[in-house]
């Protein structure tokens, strides 16, 4: 059974990605490979949303779900194939596969379309993306076994 300590959340006082969470995940505290700060992750998502809205405006003007669909396809394809979205790339971030606790990221591991799809579906639902675990990862990343790191 999962305990409160295993799950953590924003109720813990807002665990920051730099610090205890990085150490528990086996990631460096700073520099390349360290957990991406929340501000950069949000900025990358805003860039991705802007791109999705621009593409949707070119494709269809009367369907409010088109930008969400474009964002979803963009995330599944780009994260699944190269490991980052346009926003991640511009802000120096990358989605990486997380190894066993204490092992850090699996170097060179391909995120793949299965993990990317799980992560994207939960990102589009929104709630898992705005709820963090004790390590500072969104629940969509936790469910997919991924972490967003600095490149």
pTM, to two decimals: 0.77
Q: Which two tokens stand for residue 40?
A: 């950069």
With bands split at pLDDT 50, 70 and 90, how would you rate the model's confidence at 49? very high
- Per-residue pLDDT reduced to its tens digit, 82-106: 999 999 999 999 999 887 555 555 6
What is the residue-wise DSSP string for 10-21?
A: GGGT---TTTHH
Contacts 24+ apart (CB under 8 A), 107-113: 110/83, 111/79, 111/80, 111/83, 111/146, 112/80, 113/76, 113/80, 113/81
pLDDT of residue 14: 45
Is the pLDDT at 52 greater than 60? The verdict is: yes
Residue 44 tokens read as 């990358």
Separation CA 13–CA 120 (nearest Å): 26
Measured distance between the N- and C-terminal CA atoms of the chain, rounded to whole angstroms: 35
């Amino acid at each position: 059974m999962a305990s409160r300590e295993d799950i953590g959340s924003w109720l813990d006082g807002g665990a920051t990605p730099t610090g205890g969470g990085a150490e528990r995940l086996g990631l460096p505290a700073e520099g390349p490979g360290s957990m991406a700060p929340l501000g950069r992750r949000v900025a990358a998502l805003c860039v991705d949303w802007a791109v999705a809205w621009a593409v949707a405006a070119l494709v269809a003007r009367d369907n409010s779900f088109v930008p969400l669909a474009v964002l979803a396809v963009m995330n599944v394809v780009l994260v699944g194939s190269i490991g980052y979205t346009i926003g991640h790339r511009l802000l120096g971030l990358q989605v990486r596969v997380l190894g066993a606790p204490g092992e850090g990221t699996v170097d060179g591991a391909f995120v793949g379309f299965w993990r990317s799809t799980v992560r994207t579906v939960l990102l589009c639902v929104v709630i898992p993306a705005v709820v963090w675990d004790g390590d500072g990862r969104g629940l969509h990343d936790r469910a997919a076994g991924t972490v967003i790191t600095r490149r």
